[in-house]
Structure 1
Amino acid sequence: MSGHTTELVVFVLLFLLVTVMGFVAARWRRPTDLASLNEWGLGGRSFGSWITWFLVGGDLYTAYTFVAVPALVFGSGAIGFYALPYTVVVYPLVFLVLARMWSVSHVHGFVTPADFVRARFGSPTLALVIAITGLVATMPYIALQLIGIESVLKAMGITGHLPIVIAFAILAAYTYQSGLRAPALIAFVKDTLIYIVILAAVIYIPAKLGGWDSIFDAAKAKFDASPAPGDGILLNANNQLQYVTLAFGSALALFLYPHSLTGVLASKNRNVIKRNMSALPAYSFVLGLIALLGFMAIAAGVKPVMTNGKADNNTIVPLLFDKMFPDWFTGVAYAAVGIGALVPAAIMSIAAANLFTRNIYREYFNKNASDREEANVSKIVSLLVKVGAVLCILALDPQFSIDLQLIGGVIILQTLPAVALGLYTRWFHKGGLIAGWAAGLVAGMWMLYLIPNPVSGKLHFGGSAFALSNFGFDTKMTIYPGFVALAVNVVVAALATLLFRAAKVADGKDATARDEYFADEGDPKVKDLDLTGSH
């Protein structure tokens, strides 16, 4: 830690600032009673355009993004830029979908995507499947926020897990007290710091490194000397299909995550959603600049921290800041990454807790749970989720944890037919959707299992490049397994639907009406759905 005193002091002071804000948030836009999921878990569904923009942006662009995207560019080159087109593509894709989800949730009081599925397809079993899928996909994502904080601590010479345990204990405390209002308020600080740091970095660092020509020349020289066939500052014939499908598949997955929908459902009307889908691509501009930090690190000669004899590429951004910036500004940059972990981690834990409370506890343990009881259960579960995330990072190799995020994307994609397509069509049979979900998961896990990572020496679950040769094709081309798994899901769901219809198997009852998908602020709401009925 010697030599990093100034950075540590600045980091701790800014961390304490957002901690105070987290506790104060309980009094910000305070309702008469926080004891309901509408208030604790969705901020009273009252956030306007500015708050929603910072909240959703702070939720989607995590510390892992600021650390892992440039780390991927640093290690593999052009393939790391897939994050840029996918965030450009995603907003037009979800523009109308999210407005419909907000409207039907406004009418029925839905808090989670599984709530919607329960009503749309009349199937508690399908809703349970969607809820468990969301929980499983979200848990490693919360753990991954620790990667961002750990990378900063490692750059300051701090080892051990105690600082992370303390950070998450503080996060748990103010999330428990303030609910979604805490990350909504802190997101203002987080996003402001990120913009300041990144804009300073792309102006100041290239100037010190001799300009962009020198940066790209250094990157090209490194990748030209690399033995890995997919590495380079340009895509090649073997990884272009993977790049396209990875970008498109990631775009489809982004707003299926429960925490993404949580920020959207907290908005006060449809126009807030539409304005945000138009304005959020501004983050994509910053993301493109963030990705370039990977090339800057190559030009600056940054060497990642070694952990257990292996290079930890996640440390290259903090080390780049440490090498290029004055100590005080490096502390600000470190705080931006650290706080960038807290905002999404808080929203993710709230979303996971809401899934458990609404779609497992209320459905299977206490159908008559009061609003206060629901809120209390969610508060407790949000604490347990954070404990589970910390245990993940303590028990698992961090490199394996990173691979879990890839697995999470493949998993959450399997909810698309029920959640996203369900907003537009009731054609699929509930049994068909469950069959498609199962087939997609099996296909996705099988493909991920077959992917090796020659760099780390892993034989299985080693990345996102599935070789088409595994299907018997005579080619070296690769593809994103989540994209293929989703295609399997949709085909199986369609075929199974036709079979169930032909066999006259009873389907669930649709509890929603067409006009409810266009409801807006001020339109009447209805009582929460009756949860009685067969499973």
Structure 2
Amino acid sequence: MNWTAIIVFVLLFGAVTIIGFAAAHWRRGDLDVLDEWGLAGRRLGTVVVWFLLGGDVYTAYTFIAVPALVFGAGAIGFFALPYTIIVYPLVFLILPRMWSVAHKHNFITAGDFVQGRYGNKWLVLAVAITGIVATMPYIALQLLGLQVVIGAMGVGTVGFYGDLPLIIAFIILAAFTYTSGLRAPAMIAVVKDTLIYITVLAMVIVIPIELGGYGKMFAMIPPAKLLLAGPKDGNLGQFSAYATLALGSAFALFLYPHTMTAVLSSNSREVIRRNAAYLPAYSFMLGLLALTGFMALAVGVDKLPEFAPQFAQYGSNFAVPALILHTFPDWFAGVAFAAIGIGGLVPAAIMSIAASNLFTRNIYVQFIRPNCTPKQEAQNAKITSLIVKFGALLFIIFLPLQYAIQLQLLGGIWISQTIPAVIVGLYTRWLNPWALIIGWAAGLIAGTWMAASLSFQSAVFPLAVDGFTVPGYAALYALAINFAVSIVLSLLFNQILATRGTDLTSAADYRV
């Protein structure tokens, strides 16, 4: 075992734990109210939201998986870069409207907005279930980053004793999330992002120098991995896959409950606009991080005999940890691994809070206990957040990791099917709520079928049209079906006024 790295890792992890519990006293509020526990009282300013959204969007799995995709598949892995650039103009234009109407009506979740906008509890249930189901494997996948770095430090990750470090980490996560709510990940995100920036900058400076410069580094990489596979024999190849993955991922990102939660915790709509302008700094970092996949290829870390057992267990996901161990001293490896590990805790905390908010507001209060007090509502959310984390932990311990990854692919497809109800609903309620439910179901079935036809190994579906094949992100194809069904049925259902529901919002609410 690499004791130096382990000691540094544990010390930083311990410091973060203290910060997590201390966060309960930061900007003190009544944590027995869901608005305070689940949204930090909607009082977070520009700087804190910047770190919170960065910690929310750029997770431990991102820091492991993006370089791993570049390492294994080449240039297609860089789709993550344009997708995070495309998303911020959308945030700038769309989400201030969501903040305004949510602030006016005390909406805490996207489901709350759908309830206020359409007055249809079954559409609310569809949005809530989609959000929770799409989030659960995302939480589980944060454990991948922890598992990989724990294994990189020489600690076994097989059997009960191998799972023990994960269990301890998630017990700590559950404890400070329960006591501090959203304030905990908001404070910890500052530490996490600082460590990540230090690690990434060190890697993109030191490693190319050791390789003789970026020119020599790129010369060591197989040409097939440097460029996208172009159109051939009536097939658009990776061109359409790259474009649709970037566009579809951008559409879906801020529909996830955890990113919506971070947005609604802002103290004004201007905070969201400013962050839409500042957050591309993370895209710059993501581009540098993706380059580390090429660095690992140039170094040939998968061919180094000392890393053979870990590559056998984790595959390409071990590329970055192997690169760090090969290049840097043990103490810095401990810092880097702590950054990745903490990078899993922050989004996992926000995700569990967001999922519990959805369940509490849009299922528990809506269908089970409509007359519960604010304190009972907050208490239910706290307990639900524990159950969500426990479920994610069981998921990762008892099921092979590939199932979590496969479900996460579906998560992106599924969450995209809430776009007509949530995003379009911010601008018009012409779409009929019952038509939206049927369109949502059609999109889910079509998207799931596309993923199933690929054995859940990919989200890029080869759409064949008149002998021409267009590989593309299944979420976009399913969303097109969703919109078509919703529009056609709305033309019919809108003739029956009883199907329209009641809109509790007004045009002025979206501009406050």
TM-score, scaled relative to structure 2: 0.95
Q: What aligned pairs does 1:344-423 form with structure 2 within 5 A after superposition?
A: 344-423=347-426
Q: Which of 411, 425, 428 is residue 425 of structure 1 equivalent to?
A: 428
Q: What aligned pairs does 1:316-327 form with structure 2 within 5 A after superposition?
A: 316-327=319-330
One-letter code aligned to 1:29:
R
Indicate conservation of the 8 Å contact 2:353/2:381, yes or no.
Answer: yes
* Paired position in structure 2 for 1:524: none
Q: How far off is 1:94 after superposition?
A: 2.1
State the Cα deviation string for residues 24-59 of structure 1 (Å, max 9, x = none).
00011112x210111000001001111111111111
Q: How far off is 1:466 after superposition?
A: 1.2
Report the Cα distance in structure 1 between the residues aligned to 2:117 and 2:151, rounded to whole angstroms: 48
* Paired position in structure 2 for 1:228: none
State the Cα deviation string for residues 487-534 of structure 1 (Å, max 9, x = none).
111111001111212455531011101101111xxxxxxxxxxxxxxx
Q: What aligned pairs does 1:38-117 form with structure 2 within 5 A after superposition?
A: 38-117=35-114
Cα 1:322–1:473 change in 2 (3 A) is: farther
Indicate conservation of the 8 Å contact 1:306/1:312, yes or no.
Answer: no
* Paired position in structure 2 for 1:123: 120
* Paired position in structure 2 for 1:499: 492
Q: Percent identity?
A: 56
Q: How far off is 1:235 after superposition?
A: 4.1
Cα 1:287–1:98 change in 2 (3 A) is: same
1:188 aligns with 2:190: yes
SS of the counterpart of 1:479? Answer: strand
Report the Cα distance in structure 2 between the residues aligned to 1:311 and 1:184, rounded to whole angstroms: 30
Q: Which of 226, 231, 236 is residue 230 of structure 2 equivalent to?
A: 236
Q: How far off is 1:157 after superposition?
A: 1.9
Q: How far off is 1:96 after superposition?
A: 2.1
Cα 1:185–1:406 change in 2 (3 A) is: same
One-letter code aligned to 2:330:
D
One-letter code aligned to 1:25:
A
State the Cα deviation string for residues 296-325 of structure 1 (Å, max 9, x = none).
001111116546956521111111101101
SS of the counterpart of 2:108? Answer: coil
Report the Cα distance in structure 1 between the residues aligned to 2:395 and 2:309, rounded to whole angstroms: 21
One-letter code aligned to 1:95:
F
Report which of the two has the higher share of helix.
2
Cα 1:100–1:305 change in 2 (3 A) is: farther
Report the Cα distance in structure 1 between the residues aligned to 2:309 and 2:128, rounded to whole angstroms: 38
Q: Which of 337, 341, 344 is residue 340 of structure 2 equivalent to?
A: 337
One-letter code aligned to 1:202:
V
Report the Cα distance in structure 2 between the residues aligned to 1:321 and 1:310, rounded to whole angstroms: 18
Report the Cα distance in structure 2 between the residues aligned to 1:48 and 1:305, rounded to whole angstroms: 46
- Root-mean-square deviation (CA, aligned residues, Å) is 1.4
Q: How far off is 1:465 after superposition?
A: 2.1
Aligned residue pairs, count: 498
* Paired position in structure 2 for 1:484: 477
Indicate conservation of the 8 Å contact 1:63/1:338, yes or no.
Answer: yes
Report the Cα distance in structure 2 between the residues aligned to 1:76 and 1:477, rounded to whole angstroms: 19
Report the Cα distance in structure 2 between the residues aligned to 1:439 and 1:188, rounded to whole angstroms: 41
One-letter code aligned to 1:23:
F
Indicate conservation of the 8 Å contact 1:302/1:316, yes or no.
Answer: yes
* Paired position in structure 1 for 2:234: none
Q: How far off is 1:249 after superposition?
A: 0.1
SS of the counterpart of 1:313? Answer: helix
Report the Cα distance in structure 2 between the residues aligned to 1:320 and 1:506, rounded to whole angstroms: 58
Report the Cα distance in structure 2 between the residues aligned to 1:448 and 1:215, rounded to whole angstroms: 36
Q: How far off is 1:171 after superposition?
A: 0.3
Q: How far off is 1:327 after superposition?
A: 1.1
Q: How far off is 1:277 after superposition?
A: 0.7
Q: Which of 6, 9, 12 is residue 10 of structure 2 equivalent to?
A: 12
For structure 1, the residue ranges without an aligned partner over 5 or more in a row are 224-230, 452-459, 520-535
SS of the counterpart of 1:461? Answer: coil
* Paired position in structure 2 for 1:216: 218
State the Cα deviation string for residues 128-177 of structure 1 (Å, max 9, x = none).
11000000000000001001111111111212211111100100000000
Indicate conservation of the 8 Å contact 1:305/1:313, yes or no.
Answer: no
Report the Cα distance in structure 1 between the residues aligned to 2:308 and 2:271, rounded to whole angstroms: 43
Report the Cα distance in structure 2 between the residues aligned to 1:218 and 1:449, rounded to whole angstroms: 37
Report the Cα distance in structure 1 between the residues aligned to 2:498 and 2:230, rounded to whole angstroms: 49
Report the Cα distance in structure 2 between the residues aligned to 1:422 and 1:291, rounded to whole angstroms: 35
* Paired position in structure 2 for 1:296: 295
* Paired position in structure 1 for 2:277: 278
* Paired position in structure 1 for 2:316: 313
* Paired position in structure 2 for 1:529: none
Indicate conservation of the 8 Å contact 1:78/1:235, yes or no.
Answer: no
Report the Cα distance in structure 1 between the residues aligned to 2:509 and 2:146, rounded to whole angstroms: 42
**Stretch of structure 1 that moved more, 265-274 or 235-244:** 235-244
Q: How far off is 1:464 after superposition?
A: 2.0
* Paired position in structure 1 for 2:263: 264
Cα 1:311–1:376 change in 2 (3 A) is: closer
Indicate conservation of the 8 Å contact 2:417/2:440, yes or no.
Answer: yes
State the Cα deviation string for residues 227-254 of structure 1 (Å, max 9, x = none).
xxxx553342211001000100000000
One-letter code aligned to 2:71:
F
Cα 1:405–1:107 change in 2 (3 A) is: same
Indicate conservation of the 8 Å contact 1:165/1:390, yes or no.
Answer: yes
One-letter code aligned to 1:209:
L
One-letter code aligned to 2:425:
G
Report the Cα distance in structure 2 between the residues aligned to 1:179 and 1:444, rounded to whole angstroms: 34
Q: Which of 459, 463, 466 is residue 464 of structure 1 equivalent to?
A: 459
State the Cα deviation string for residues 409-433 of structure 1 (Å, max 9, x = none).
0010000000011000110000110
TM-score, scaled relative to structure 1: 0.91
